[in-house]
A and B are shown apart, each in its own frame.
Chain A
């Protein structure tokens, strides 16, 4: 569209209107200077969108918008014409995950170690109870333009951002802004452009939630509360947080998940409540790309790839895990893998400490498989599409906002210079050098002498030399159009000179003087645009060498290159400890088919089965740990309240915990993963099978009954806190918390339709209906009896007392109640409530008729549970079969899976361990551990893995060192850290 002259006339009537960078309603302290800001960029290569490239094309903009783009565009007469021959024009980039212009969240005021609790939000006003739910926060009301930061981002090519306050679990709404340095009113394209979420409570000083599972529970409850709030419940009054949460549902929903497993956790919540999240990823999604793809979500991928570390010192390198080393190498493959898998994604610069590494890292990603076209799409069309703003930004089309880049070449090429970033039709100059390519062959005439002058090298920083018989370096300085050349001849030194002058297209001229002080005139004329190529070679960037790593399952040193498969296995001639009525069977064979125990007997044969020689070896059921805290992300305790039955371990299973593998090496096949013991009613538990390499959902013991963790005694009353202000502080109070919880649950049941769905009480209701079972951390006899009486009152049974070190004192009462006991073998004296613990506890309870298990509560002890069970032989003369049952069929029974596992019986799951020796002996080593008929641990395979780990680590360390030598930035070596390190349980410090 042309710019008709009459518009100019019309506008000239309104002299005060739209001075550049001002707003209509704002008075000005000047006379008006209305402008059309009409520009025409001609002869350019225009990339309208990632799929459309126009050669020798024209772009016309006016008043901040694109007026025309194309090959045959008539130039408006009032356009300022910019010749863009040889230049490329791209849409400016869009980043939909940014904190630009927002208030940096201040870090919460830390309370002292184990100090007082804050139960309710500090936020003043008619808002919700939890400080991490800030749905009412509207970032547009707090946004301020920040020229310094804007400049930094413009230099990378960004023009439009979706900004949000990076604080809280429900973070409120985001705003769409440009990076123009103008009044906020003009920069803001759209307020309420998104609703934003995370699992991180951020700045909230409130105790709840203190764990990842707590964050998940809080968000789920918030969805329910918002629905309920629609009914205008009388008791709630006005709750602006819930109202805002409801209002925000229609916006694009962005979730800052920041890790492959957290991505999936967030998506699960979205699916539950019919929401659709755009997931801000962590960059490690390539490690589980199939799960990521199956989620059908869209993603925002970061480019903050891990930096290389200083690993020359082997004592430092030793503590960097293979997983971290591999991630350094493989993280740049992440965007390319998303492309290959056809998963929609945008890119973000968020998380880069040094923003200038954005393009550097993007090029790494391109090197590692991302196509340039897709990269551009992920920075323009895709983010615009995800937010529904492609009608405004994201490509160069008539009517869209004039946000574009003018560059010297294709945008992702390392040599390319981005000269200008136009935002809302206004030029932001990034770099002027090289706009005009002066490289070529010239004739330099100084006085009467003609020389050949070569200008070559980088477009923006060309170098010059006089190439006569000898070559003489010329120091070339160009400022605007002024030029200075200084050179010194070796032979003809008297004629060395300094020349200053002006460049007028291809002819330069000026004056100068020789080193002797003789005045000169000089001139330069271009004779050719062709210049000799630079022969100095750049050092190859070692980090750009293609990744050679492979994804393993899990992404750990001991992960599998491909998942082990179920197979038919025939174990020959072993001593079989059945943990069943059959007792011990000698020189017996066992056949596994389809993951189940298919046959037990002498001289079994199979044509299809893999044969394992069990001669001299012992075969037992897989060990089951009733009390474990391994394989959990984001904390095993939600301590912030005395009743947290809404939190679920099932939400936070970490299938990559190396302790899964380590426990397989101790013959463990199933673990009951418990919430910690810091509150009376803790979280819901999860029984898993140790299917090393599979994902969190696949680890879960399908169809097993749900359980919940309770706790009593010192931990619950926070004996070790400097000051405890959380009810209860005594065992008297603990009992009352229980009574109250179940009284509330009964009331809840009675409440009519339309009640607020309360996740806490829903879980407790299940207990009352025998749909959920309790395992209760407990030590002393008084509290054990008290809980049983509470249970009697409310007509349910306590399924299991766990730890139960004084169980022997009330074993008869426990028997009467019909409960199970899961205890330590010999722990005692580490705190007051265990001073009467005895290693004969298990034996007495068993003699009285209880079903007794030995548990670990400790990632190390778990791999010797068979030997812990054997301590009852030592201290109480328990018979060997009974001892072994305490870690096989007995825990299976108390977990209600005794029909599936825990003993060796035809038809049961093939969860088995082949031991080198009597499984109760200190000398016994698990040689093969089988879960569902799949060999997950084999001492021979383990040997191979160890060698492969050493080899692969060595390769990566060498590569990292080479990268450093090649100029890659490094950081000091830092030991790898697994967040679930130190997952010792109740036996340790009271948590």
Chain B
């Protein structure tokens, strides 16, 4: 048996480039085999001394380590191999510095913007992207905000020259930000005019229903005197080729989301949904999936279990509800790099580690409708793979040393590692 050569990932060849010179990697050439690693497949399965072989950007073989001919072999003894993690809801690439208005492109004016596309504003040159992918997040669903119906999200891969290269799943769904159905505390109400926020919210929701009814009618007719871009944009919701993402938190809001999805026969994914643990039966019955936002959060109500946000994932898992995790909007760009640790917390509060991993890999892919291409280390899928020296869900052990997007080994450097090097040099730190 002949092994072509042993490949060391000392990063030296890649790390010397400055941020501005860092470039996306070229397409995979030849076949690569990652051997002797602990393969975390993403579906709960673990192969202790495992091997992952990929070629032409696709995974061709996953099994216990065996000898292979004519492949680049990378010995990962003692290291862990994971599917690339997926940030299911983020404004990464739509903003650089959230406090500086000029750098933000994620919040459009107007109330009904279903035809707005996040993809066209996605900036592949954002300095933030490299800090996220170097923690093992390789794909991201880029989500617009603003107004009530904010537009279309798209999944991108995080190693691209431009947004067209980056596009992984285009315009996958429409985002509806449901108005809050919680009244103001008394302390606020005394200050000003008495406002029934619940009624206001429900009125607004009714305008959304009306919008969809009109869109449905419009789309039943193929010829129109005048094109209505807004109605056209939501066409895919009615045949479930697009996902209906509803951003909401509280029980009543969730119930309304379920009702709306049922009324229009939409494929519903809840985003946020921090109180979803109260209505797991209904979610289960209606096959609703959930993207939990930032489990590292305080409970919604003062008397809630103090660890409620940490254990909501376990409640969903136990109820058999498909869920993933993302970061809160607003800080949802740079903070995505903490995704594995948020999953880790869920593993400390009721999930197994493999379940926690599935949540941010295979389950995320399922929810975003890309599980045929990615989300797990299985034959036929894209070689979106991350290697860590230790448990990737724990900051104590997570050290991402190698990552592939579609079989391309990506540069794990970023602006921050470069500044680190610069100042290590200044102070003579080894």
Contact of B423 with A922 in the complex, beta carbons under 8 Å: no
Q: Is the CB of A321 within 8 A of B303?
A: yes
Binds B, one of A372-380, A407-415, A807-815: A807-815
Are the CB atoms of A973 and B183 closer together than 8 Å? yes
Nearest Cβ in chain A — how far from B275, in angstroms?
8
The answer to whether A874 touches B298, judged by C-beta atoms less than 8 angstroms apart, is no
For chain A residues 354-379, which have a beta carbon within 8 Å of chain B?
Answer: none
Question: Cβ of A989: which chain B residues have Cβ within 8 Å of it?
Answer: 99
**Given A315-B252, A949-B303, are A835 and B398 neighbors across the interface (CB < 8 Å)?**
no
Q: Can you list, as one digit per residue, whether each of B220-231 has a CB less than 8 Å from chain A (1) or not (0)?
A: 000000000000
B420 an interface residue at 8 Å Cβ cutoff?
Answer: yes
> Which residues from chain B contact A972 at a C-beta distance below 8 Å?
183
Judge if A113 is at the interface, Cβ distance under 8 Å: no
How far does the alpha carbon of A319 sit from the alpha carbon of B416 in the complex, in Å?
42
Residue pair A662, B306 in contact (C-beta under 8 Å): yes
Tell me whether A923 and B347 are in contact (CB under 8 A).
yes
Cα A665 to Cα B397 in complex, Å, equals 23
Contacts A831-B99, A925-B348, A977-B188 known; A811 to B393 CB distance under 8 Å?
Answer: no
Q: Are B334 and A829 in contact (CB under 8 A)?
A: yes
Chain A residues near B393: list those with CB within 8 A. Answer: 922
Please measure, in the bound complex, the distance between the C-alpha atom of A560 and the C-alpha atom of B424, giving whole angstroms.
51
Looking at A156-164, A289-297, A860-868, the stretch in contact with chain B turns out to be A860-868
Pick from A661, A719, A840, A876 the residue with the most CB of B within 10 Å: A840
Please report which residues of chain A, range 827-872, place their CB below 8 angstroms from some CB of chain B when the two chains form the complex: 828-832, 835-840, 844, 847-848, 859-861, 864, 867, 870-871
Q: Does chain A have a CB within 8 A of B296?
A: yes
B338: chain A residues at CB < 8 Å are: 826
CB distance A978 to B302 under 8 Å?
A: yes
Interface string of B114-134 (1 = CB under 8 A from A): 000000000000011001000
Most buried by A among B395, B423, B424: B395
Residues of A within 8 A of B306 (CB): 558, 661-662, 665, 942
Q: Chain A, interface size: which category? A: 35 or more
Does A322 lie at the interface of the complex (its beta carbon under 8 Å from any beta carbon of B)? yes
Please tell me which one of the listed residues B131, B186, B301 contacts residue A974 in the complex, with CB atoms under 8 A apart: B186
Q: Is B164's beta carbon under 8 Å from chain A? A: no
Q: A residues within 8 A CB of B99?
A: 714, 719-720, 830-832, 989-990
- CB of B127, distance to nearest CB on chain A (Å): 8
Q: Are B185 and A974 in contact (CB-based, < 8 A)?
A: yes
Cross-chain contact of A844 among B127, B251, B395, B423 (Cβ < 8 A): B423
The answer to whether B303 touches A974 (Cβ under 8 A) is: no
Q: Which residues of A contact B331 (CB under 8 A)?
A: 830
Contact of A876 among B307, B333, B334, B420 (CB under 8 A): B420
A826 in contact with B337 given A321-B302, A838-B420 (CB within 8 Å): yes
Partner of B185, one of A831, A840, A920, A977: A977
- Give chain A residues whose Cβ lies under 8 Å from the Cβ of B131: 828
Flag whether A280 is at the interface (Cβ < 8 A).
Answer: no
Contact indicator B419/A838 (Cβ below 8 Å): yes
Mark each residue of chain A from 961 to 991: 1 if its CB lies under 8 Å from any CB of chain B, else 0. 0000000000111111111000000000110
| A829 touching B128 in the complex, CB below 8 Å, given contacts A972-B183, A975-B185 | yes
The A-contacting residues of B in range 3-26, CB under 8 angstroms, are none
Given A831-B98, A844-B429: A662 and B298 within 8 A (CB)? yes
If A829-B128, A953-B303 touch, whether A870 touches B419 (CB-CB below 8 Å) is no
Q: Is the CB of A874 within 8 A of B296?
A: no
Quick one: which of A808, A840, A924, A978 contacts B348, CB cutoff 8 A? A924
| A924-B97 Cα distance, complex, nearest whole Å | 33
User: For residue A830, which residues in chain B have a CB less than 8 angstroms away from its CB?
Assistant: 97-99, 331, 334
Q: Which of A790-834 contact B (CB under 8 A)?
A: 808-809, 811-812, 826, 828-832
> Contacts A662-B306, A832-B97, A832-B100: A874 and B399 contacting too (C-beta < 8 A)?
yes
- Would you call B305 an interface residue if the criterion is a C-beta within 8 Å of the partner chain's C-beta atoms? yes
For A829, A918, A949, the residue with the greatest tally of chain B CB atoms inside 10 Å of its CB is: A829
**Contact in complex: B396, A315 (CB < 8 Å):** no
Contact (Cβ within 8 A) A861 B296: yes
Q: How many A-B residue pairs have CB under 8 A?
A: 153
Chain A residue numbers with a CB within 8 Å of B407 are: none
Q: Smallest CB–CB gap between B215 and chain A, Å?
A: 30
Instruction: Report the minimum CB–CB distance from B128 to chain A (whole Å).
Output: 6
Q: A809 — nearest CB in chain B belongs to which residue?
A: B423
Give the CA-CA distance A809 to B422 in the complex, in Å: 10
The residues of A that contact B344 with a CB separation of less than 8 Å are 922-923
CB distance from B129 to the nearest CB of A (A): 11
Whether B341 sits at the interface, judged by CB under 8 Å, is yes
Task: Name B377-412 residues within 8 Å CB distance of A.
Answer: 393-399
Cα separation A319 to B300 with both chains bound (whole Å) = 8
B395's partner among A322, A659, A861, A867 (CB-CB below 8 A) is A867
Could you say which of A556, A867, A871, A972 has the most chain B C-beta atoms within 10 Å of its C-beta? A867
| CB-based nearest B residue for A867 | B395
Assess the A828–B334 pair: CB atoms within 8 A.
yes
B396 partner residues in chain A, CB cutoff 8 A: 870, 873-874, 880, 918, 920-922
* Cβ-based interface call for A71 (8 A): no
Q: Kindly list chain B residues whose C-beta atoms are within 8 Å of the C-beta of A975.
A: 182-185, 301
On whether the beta carbons of A922 and B394 are closer than 8 Å, the reply is yes
Give, as a whole number of angstroms, the nearest-CB distance from B420 to chain A. Answer: 4
For residue A323, CB closer than 8 A to chain B, the reply is yes
Let me know if B189 is at the binding interface, CB within 8 A: yes
Checking B100, B187, B337, B416 against A840 with a beta-carbon cut-off of 8 angstroms, the contacting residue is B416
Residue among B184, B250, B349, B397 with the highest chain A CB neighbour number at 10 A? B397
The B256-287 residues at the A interface (CB cut-off 8 A) are none
B159 within 8 A of A: no
Chain A to chain B contacts (Cβ below 8 Å), 15 pairs: A319-B300, A319-B301, A558-B303, A719-B99, A831-B99, A840-B416, A847-B427, A870-B396, A875-B416, A920-B395, A921-B396, A921-B397, A922-B348, A922-B396, A976-B301
Q: A923-B394, A975-B182 are in contact. List 8 more A-B contacts (CB 8 A).
A: A319-B301, A322-B303, A864-B345, A870-B396, A871-B395, A922-B394, A942-B306, A975-B183
The 3 closest A-B CB pairs, nearest first, are A977-B185, A922-B344, A831-B99
List residues of B whose CB falls within 8 A of some A CB.
Answer: 96-100, 127-128, 131, 182-189, 250-252, 296-298, 300-303, 305-307, 331, 333-334, 337-338, 341, 344-345, 347-349, 393-399, 416-417, 419-420, 423-424, 427, 429
A interface residues (Cβ-Cβ under 8 A, vs B): 315-316, 318-319, 321-323, 556-558, 658-659, 661-662, 665, 714, 719-720, 808-809, 811-812, 826, 828-832, 835-840, 844, 847-848, 859-861, 864, 867, 870-871, 873-876, 880, 917-918, 920-925, 942, 946, 949, 953, 971-979, 989-990
